[in-house]
Amino acid sequence: MAAATSPSLYLDLQRQQHCHAHLKPAKALPFLSSRNPPLSLHKLDRYNFICSLPSSSSTNSVTPSHYSFLDDPFRGSRFLTNEDLEKLKALESFVYLQELESGSLWIRAMRTEEMDLTVGLLALSFAESMFMSLGYEALLRFFVKQYLIERRAVMPHAVTLVGFYREKGALRGEQLAGTVEVCFDKRGANASPPTPMAPKNSPYICNMTVTEQLRRRGIGWHLLRASEELISQLTSSKEVYLHCRMIDEAPFNMYIKAGYNVVQTDSIFILLTLQRRKHLMCKKLPVSNSFSESDLSDSGP
């Protein structure tokens, strides 16, 4: 798999067909839920997932100026405390920038106009991880979008991050490189988390997906790093959790390099529910969180 972290659209798709992620939009699909292992994308080039961002500069096109999550149509009417408002502002201003050998990567919170783009990426990933016909893609898109809308309503207790990539010297626009979901506390936790269950009040990373043609460039690593950086900024908790399927060797090795340790593993009896066995992994974030760039070599996606 090409993903770098647990996916947040933990569609309980695993219960249906050995899926990678868990989404839980409505109760229509038992396989949709939110706390889970990494997603990966295959054959993404069949779709034109190019984000039409302003053509000025890469940095300016991703900075959060003139964008407010308070105006988000999917935010709902939930009352926000002063602390919530401060966290929303922090999410609006959060941008993780990284120069890679082949281009530039920036990661920030998903905006409303980018939801359909992200839905397409995740729906394709779910379909292929479950070996489903692309004829089911429209149905998957529906449930994935419902899930993202529901998760949008719990901001700032959870957020979907998106990464954009621009090739050096490329003439075309920025490309959606990947996505990952971050839950900060129990108010952002999914109601039906996967097993083994992580503490609901602890930060949790899930639903990480990397575009197929952009794998092996360290994008998954930086999605993980950006998630941890944001957790360090918005929470006092220093323990972060994620899931990794036992069959996903490359992501597992990446998590180990990043400092995660297995704290619990699914019983073999989970196979009776048509789910893949998963590791629950945990990392204690340092006060100043930074990865060594040397760890990027051969670190997975």
Active-site residues, by number, are 255
Tokens matching residue 139? 């149905």
Alpha-carbon distance 92 to 110, whole Å? Answer: 10
Closest C-alpha to 166, from 67, 91, 93, 59: 59
Name the nearest CA neighbour of 26 among 154, 190, 155: 190
The torsion angle over the Cα atoms of residues 297, 182, 178 and 144, rounded to 10 degrees, is: 150
Measured CA to CA, the distance from residue 183 to residue 169 in angstroms comes to 36
Contacts of 21 (CB under 8 A, 6+ apart): 7, 8, 9, 10, 11, 13, 14, 36, 37, 39, 122, 125, 126, 129, 206, 207
Phi, psi (rounded to 5 degrees) for 75: -70, -30
φ/ψ of residue 161, rounded to 5: -95, 145
Residue 112 per-residue DSSP state: G
Residue 267 CB contacts under 8 Å (≥ 6 apart), including other chains: 277
| Cα distance between residue 213 and residue 244, in whole Å | 22
Which residues partner with 244 through β-bridges?
Answer: 279
Q: Which of 143, 130, 203, 216 is nearest to 177 (CA)?
A: 216
> Tokens 């530039």 map to which residue?
104
